[in-house]
Structure formats: structure tokens, C-alpha cells
Structure 1
Amino acid sequence: MLSLGWIAITYLLGAVPFGLLVAKVCCGIDPRLEGSRNTGATNVARLCGFKYGVLALIGDLGKGFVPVLVAGMFSQSKVFLGCVALAAVLGHVYSVFLNGKGGKAVATTVGVFLALAPWSTVISALLLVVVVLASGYVSLGSLTLVTVLPILLVVTGEFTLALFAALIGVLVYWRHRDNIARLAVGEEKPWRKAH
């Protein structure tokens, strides 16, 4: 019962739309109506400025990292921890506070796996940064991260976590399907110009 209760609490924490809160409170903008119309840190940074994007990023990272870290204090079951991670990401993507809508889950994914497999996550995140700097496309960097992460987890012997990373990766790909279509035809805009 404790495990199921924590998974439910984690979903609710994951559902808190930090990007929306930061944008509305700090600059009076609803990111669902402007820019890429996404509540994530990238759109908040475009609309409100870099520091507010970082604030939204920290919120989205934290709501993945903290619940998984706490879960690890009372259980070492990789299946349970993977379910907690999945709950945080599902909360972000399908937020009960946003009528089942939400963000693209990249920051929250980084947060949960920082708690579960820090080195694999850091390497994947560094690759994200390299791809974004080289290409200008946050979406391409994000897809790189969720592609590389499960591979690194397999290499390091974390097969159960790799399965959850792959499941979350499929969800992130699905949430980026419009970006993928634009990338395929050369119509995706670099993050500084994606309005």
C-alpha cells in the first residue's frame, strides 16, 4: 500500500506545471498560448528570458528527482523505482491539473534518472547539450538523450532501468512527433527562433 501510495503521490507531484506557474507569475504569460505553446522550460526561456527558463527547468527536474530519491530510501526494488520514475513522467505529460495535457517530459526524465543512474544520465545530458549547440535544435538534443540513455543503462548492466528508460523514451518520442515531422522536412526552427 505504501508503494502504491507513493506512486500516486509522485504522479501528482509530476503533474505540477512548473513552467506554466513560472511564466504566469514571473512574466504574466501563458506559455500554452504563445511560442511553441508548450509548458516546458525551453518555451518559458523563449518567452520570459533565460533565467525563468532555468527556474522552470529546475522545477521540472526536481519533481522527477526528489520523489525517486525518496522512494529509494524505503525500497531498492528496481521495478518499484522504475514505476515511480514512470509516474513522475506521466504526471508531467498528462497532468491532472491541465486537463490531461502537459509537457514533453525531457527535464522530468533527466530528473528521475539522475536519482536512479546519475552517470548514465549525465553523459546523456551532455550529449543533449552537444547536439543542441551543434544543431540549434532542442528537440533533436532531447531525442538524442532518450535514445542514448537506455543504451548506456544496458551497457552498465541496469537492464530493468533500461526497460523503463526505453518506455519513457517512446513516450518522449511520441510527444515530439510534430518536431520529428518538422525536422524531417527541414522546417524545425532553432530554439531561439521557435515562435
Structure 2
Amino acid sequence: MLSLGWIAVTYLLGAVPFGLFVGRIFCGIDPRLDGSHNTGSTNVARLCGFRYGVLTLLFDAGKGFLPVYLASTFSDSTFFLGLVALAAVAGHVYSVFLDWKGGKAVATTVGAFLALAPGALLLSCLVFIGVVLASGFVSLGSLALVSALVLFLILSGQFGLAFFAALIAALVFYRHADNIQRLAHGTEKSWKKKKN
């Protein structure tokens, strides 16, 4: 019962739309109505400014990190902890508070795996930074991050966590379907400043 209850609470925490709150409180806007039309940190940064995107990122990562870290204090079951991580991400993507809509799961994934596998997560974040700096596309960096996370978990022998990371990566790719299409057609927006 404790396990099921924890997963339910984790989902509800993951479903809290911090990006919506940040947008409305600090910028007076609803991030669902402009940009990429979601409450994720990248869209908030695009619409409100970098610092508010970072604030949203910290909140969204926190709702992945906190329940997984606390769960690890009373359980060492990889399966259970993987389910907790998945619940946090699912809550963020399919929020009960936003008519089953939400963000694209990257920040919450980062938070969850910071608690589960900080070494693999750090290496994956380095991949993210490298791809974004090289390409200018946050979306491509995000896809590289979740893909690298699965790879680094496998290479480190953490096969159980790699399974859950693969499930989450599939969800992240699904949520980035529009970005992938724009990347393929060369119409994705870049963070790099274009030269005149």
C-alpha cells in the first residue's frame, strides 16, 4: 500500500504545472497559448526570459528528484524506484490539472535520474550541452540526453534503470514529435543568434 500510495503522490507532484505558475505570476502569460504551447522550461524561457526558464527548470527537475530521492530512503528496489521516476515524468507530461496535457518531460527526467544514477545523468548532461552548443537546438540536445542516458546506464551495468530510462526516452521522443519533424525540414528554431 505504501508503494502504490507513493507512486500516486509522485504522479500528483509531477502533474503540478510549475511552468504555468511561473508564466502567470512573473510574466502575466499562459505558456500554453504561445511558443510551443506547453508549460516546459524551454517554452517559458522563450516567452518570459532565461531566468524564468531556469526557475521553471529547477521546479520541474525538483518534482522528479524529490520523490525518487525520498523513495530511495525506504526502498532499494530498482523496479519500485524506476516506477516512481516514471510516475513523476508521466505526471509532468499528462497532468491531471491541465486536462491531461503538460511539458516534454526532460527536466523531470533529469531530476529523477539525478537521484537514481547521478554519474550517468552527469555524462548525459554533458552530451546535451555539447549537442546544443554545436547545433543550437535544445530539442536535439534533449533527445540526445535521454538517448545517452540509456546508453550510459547500460554501459555501467544498471540494466534495470536502463529499462525505465528507455521507456521514458520513448515518451520524450513522442512528446518531441513536432520538433523532430521541424528538425527534419530545417524549420526548428535555434538558440544561436543568426548573423546578419
Report the TM-score, using the length of structure 1 for normalisation: 0.97
CA contact (8 A) 1:146 1:169 kept: yes
Shift of 1:58: 0.2
* Counterpart-to-counterpart distance in 1, 2:123 and 2:151: 11
Shift of 1:192: 6.5
Show CA shifts across 1:122-168 (max 9, x none).
11011111111111100000000011101100111100000000000
CA contact (8 A) 1:42 1:191 kept: no
* Counterpart-to-counterpart distance in 2, 1:179 and 1:79: 31
Shift of 1:37: 1.2
Report the TM-score, using the length of structure 2 for normalisation: 0.96
* Counterpart-to-counterpart distance in 1, 2:163 and 2:97: 28
Structure 1 partner of 2:178: 178
Gaps in structure 2 of 5+ consecutive residues: none
Shift of 1:191: 3.6
Question: Given the alignment of the two structures, is residue 31 of structure 1 paired with residue 18 of structure 2, yes or no?
Answer: no
Q: How does 1:41-190 map to 2 (within 5 A)?
A: 41-190=41-190
* Counterpart-to-counterpart distance in 2, 1:140 and 1:164: 21
AA aligned opposite 2:129:
V
* Counterpart-to-counterpart distance in 2, 1:181 and 1:159: 31
AA aligned opposite 1:36:
S
Gaps in structure 1 of 5+ consecutive residues: none
* Counterpart-to-counterpart distance in 2, 1:25 and 1:155: 43
For these two proteins, the number of residue pairs brought into alignment is 193
The CA RMSD over aligned residues, in Å, is: 1.0
Question: Given the alignment of the two structures, is residue 5 of structure 1 paired with residue 8 of structure 2, yes or no?
Answer: no
CA contact (8 A) 1:42 1:53 kept: yes
Give every structure 1 segment of 4 or more consecutive aligned residues whose post-TM-superposition deviation is greater than 6 Å. Answer: none
% identical aligned pairs? 69
Show CA shifts across 1:27-72 (max 9, x none).
1010001122121111111111111111000000000000000000
